Every structure is written in structure tokens, then in C-alpha cells.
Amino acid sequence: MHAVEEGRTVYDNIKKSILFILPTNGAEALTLIAAIVLGHQLPITPVQILWVNMITAVTLALSLAFEPPERDIMGRPPRDPDEAILSRFLVWRLFYVSLLMVAGIFGLFLWMRSNGAGVAEARTVAVNTLVMFEAFYLLNTRYIRQSALSYKGLFGSGKVLAAIALVMGFQLLYTYLPWMQLLFDTTALDGTTWGLMLLVSASVFFVVEGEKFLLRRAAIRRG
């Protein structure tokens, strides 16, 4: 029995890692495509994407490998061995989470530029918004269908919280350290801008939790 639980936990954590990584990579790609199609400057440069992928996204995704089993894991029916790891439901979530992140990142970039911000400042906002989107979405991804709106969901994993704290520490260095500003063409941001980025990036958490709630209600009605 313990071996079955362990196997299901490993499978779940692999699926969660994929569910986390693909939308964030999709958001990066779609943001660049949207900028090119609409004829705007790139909100995120190639070297900034390299920073996000190598430093932040990997750090956050690794924390999912240590997730404990979900409480309903042994109550599920056996999985079809031919079942694809990316079901239609997961593909749908990947799609809409990517679009939500693109809307937030590109929207803030354009808003900053329209309000007189320089390209470097607007790009600094875009990158930090992407990373904050990832941090909030990481909390969603701890549970694929169960709600993360609980003390355990938000604070129950020390590794996830440590990964988020580490990544945000890196982002502060990325934003304020002079040699990092020179290397990545970033600039310092004020508290109001950080508050705006926080509000925009938090939207993904509540949208995904709303989707989970609707799915659970639909499952109860069917059952």
C-alpha cells in the first residue's frame, strides 16, 4: 500500500512540475509573439528570459518535487496506464494560464510606457511581474484540483515558501544591484509600482482557484 501511495505521489509531482513549467514558458513565448505581431518593442529581452528560466523558474519548479501526497490520493481509482500525462483538462489550464500571464505582463509593459516610463523601467516591471505570476501560480499548482485557499495550502510547504523567498531575493538583486542593472538593463522601482505588480500577478491565483471551485461543484453534482 505504501508503495502504491509513493508511486502516485511521484506521478502527481511530475504532473505538477509540467503544469507549472509549461504555462510560464508559454507566457514568455506568447508575450514576445504578441509584441512582434502588434509592432511593439519586446517587453522582455532574450537575456532577461535566460535569467528567468535559469534562476527563477527552475528554482520554483524544483520545490514541487518534494510535495507530500494529497489527502485524496489513495481514494482515486487506478490510473489507465495508457492515459496521457497531459489530459484535455491540463491542456486547457496551460492555455488559459499562459494567456492570463501574457495579458498581465504585456498590459503592464504598455501601461508603463504610456505613462512615460522608459524602456528599461517598463521591462523591469515586465520581468518582475512574470516572476511574481510564477510565484502565485506555484501555490495553485501544489494541488491540481483541491483548493489552495487554506493555511496548509498557502503555508504548508516550507520548501515552496523557501523557493519563493529565494526567488524574490534574486529579483531584488536583479532590480537594485548596480552591476545587475548594467548586465540586464534594469532599473530601480518604487513601492507603488511593486504594489501594482503584486495586484496584477495575484490575479492568476484567484482565477485558478475559482476554476478549481467550479470543477469540484460540477463533480459533486455528477456524483
Interval 2-18: pLDDT, tens: 655 566 677 777 888 88
Whether the per-residue pLDDT at 23 is higher than 60: the answer is yes
Report the candidate in 99, 93, 96, 115 with the shortest Cα–Cα distance to residue 196. Answer: 115
Rounded Cα–Cα distance for residues 166 and 32 (Å) = 27
**Radius of gyration over every alpha carbon of the chain, rounded to an integer in angstroms:** 18
Residue 171: per-residue pLDDT: 96
| pLDDT above 60: residue 118 | yes
Question: What is the mean pLDDT of the segment spanning 49-61?
Answer: 88
Q: Which CATH entry fits the domain spanning 2-71+85-222: 3.30.930.10, 2.40.160.20, 1.10.3300.10, 1.20.1110.10?
A: 1.20.1110.10
Total residue length of the chain: 223
What does pTM read for this prediction? 0.91
Helices 2-38 and 119-141: angle between axes, nearest 10 degrees: 160
DSSP H or E stretch at residue 12 = helix 2-38
Question: How would residue 62 be classed by pLDDT, with cut points 50, 70 and 90?
Answer: confident
Q: Which SS3 state, helix, strand or coil, does residue 78 take? A: coil
Q: How far apart are CA 141 and CA 19, in angstroms?
A: 7
pLDDT of residue 223: 59
Span 133-162, average pLDDT:
91
